[in-house]
Structure 1
């Protein structure tokens, strides 16, 4: 598990953002683009972000 690079605050924000975007898309408020919220939701749940890996960013202390 040493490859985790998303900290707890970052994870929480990603999960909330993902759920909000998906919810708005499902309600028809923002259209199909809201399903892009799947990306922050998955990276938040997995605590791993491929873009952070490429850029060498870590928001976790582990």
Structure 2
């Protein structure tokens, strides 16, 4: 799978995911906060399954970014 999530996109996803999970753990927003697992996972794996369907790639031309994310 090729990486299609760029660095800025990745950081935003991970921050939002962690905030949502944190709010769910504290009971502030209830069980809906666990949806934060999705942006957290897509940020960690640098792959968003919706992006190829929509023709989006925020990772730039070098989809691996020099890292070992393409497996």
Which category of TM-score, normalised to the shorter sequence, fits these structures? Answer: over 0.9
State the shift of 1:57 in Å: 0.3
Aligned-residue Cα RMSD (Å) equals 0.9
Structure 1 outlier segments of 4+, above 4 Å: none
Larger radius of gyration: 2
Q: What secondary structure, in the 3-state scheme, does the structure 2 residue paired with 1:23 have?
A: helix
In the TM superposition, 1:1-62 aligns within 5 A as 3-61=2-60, 62=62
**What TM-score comes out, normalization by structure 1 length?**
0.94
Q: Under a length normalisation based on structure 2, what TM-score does the superposition of the two structures give?
A: 0.83
> What are structure 1's unaligned runs of at least 5 residues?
none
- Where structure 2 has 5 or more consecutive residues not aligned to the other structure, the ranges are 63-71
Partner deviation per Cα, 1:5-59 (whole Å, 9 max, x = no partner): 0000000000000000000000000000000000000000000000001111000
